[in-house]
Amino acid sequence: MTTKNPASALGEALGKLIEDELERIISPICKARGYVYDRGGSRPDKRKGIKLTMVNRSGNKYQLDAIIETPGGAPVVLVESKYLRYKKHNRDKASWTCASHYSLRKSHPTIRKSTAVLSGNWSVPAKEFMQSFGIEFYEIPFAHTCAVLRTHGVEFDWPEKDSLTPLESWKSFQLLSPETKEAVGRELLEPIRDRLAMGVETTLSLGEDIAKNLQEVEILLKTNRNEYFTYSFASAGDAISFLAKLQVDAPDLRGKL
């Protein structure tokens, strides 16, 4: 069967290998700490179907790659794996991740961390944008991906308009044994394996016992005209003072926001 877009097919296949390896790294840590690593699939006691989705308080559904949750089903860590071949798509994928994770964290206060594994070509502005939304990311450099695949006879570095190389690379990849493909996934995550495992371990082991200092207070106000106003404060006292000024008998807030 002919593949219409071998470059896309190869990218999706690599994404699947990365997700499989993420499960091999994270799932044992979760089990040791009494948590569950959910990356979708059949769970009759949890969901209908196989897609892993979460809903925010507005009823919007977001499909995710994986979630670390308590035995009772409360989400604790959101885990995403994002692959980009071309930097021109950076903003779109970074924006979707930021918007979805931010919305879900507002709706599910049990979420302690958002984690993203980035592979491919990610620009500095896109990564800084994700950091500004509190997403902890681990990057697999594109050059490393190319080097790993090249050792297994698969070329992964080609010009954007090249159609021959991706086709040959996809054919070569399909010839790899399941064991070799698993090795590819393991080698791809080698640069981030220890840091990723430590990050998950720290989050789950410390839990709510870790000492926390209030760094910033963000208040989001929504009016009955679906207008949103966001304010940030350096202390809880400043935030309370701001809210106190909104305690008025008149329902009209014009001139106060």
Q: Hey, where are the domains in the chain? A: 6-209, 213-257
Among the CATH numbers 3.20.20.70, 3.40.1350.10, 3.30.365.10, 3.30.420.40, which is that of 6-209? 3.40.1350.10
Burial of residue 39, with CB atoms counted within 10 A of its CB: 0-12 exposed, 13-18 middle, 19 or more buried:
middle
> DSSP letters along 52-68, please?
-EEE-TTS-EEE-SEEE
**Average confidence score pLDDT of the chain:** 87
Distances (CA, A) of 44 to 59, 79, 81, 226: 22, 22, 25, 37
From 256, 20, 36, 6, select the one nearest 154 (Cα to Cα): 6
| 203-250: pLDDT as tens digits | 998 765 554 667 778 777 777 766 667 778 888 888 888 888 777 655
pLDDT at residue number 141: 93
| 156-203: pLDDT as tens digits | 999 888 889 999 999 999 999 999 999 999 999 999 999 999 999 999
pLDDT at residue number 69: 95
59 CB-near residues (< 8 Å, 6+ apart): none
Confidence band for 6, pLDDT divided at 50, 70 and 90: very high
Torsional sign, CA 128, 132, 133, 135: positive
Query: What is the pTM (predicted TM-score) of this model?
Result: 0.81
CB 66 within 8 Å of CB 39: yes
| 39-59: pLDDT as tens digits | 988 887 778 888 889 998 888
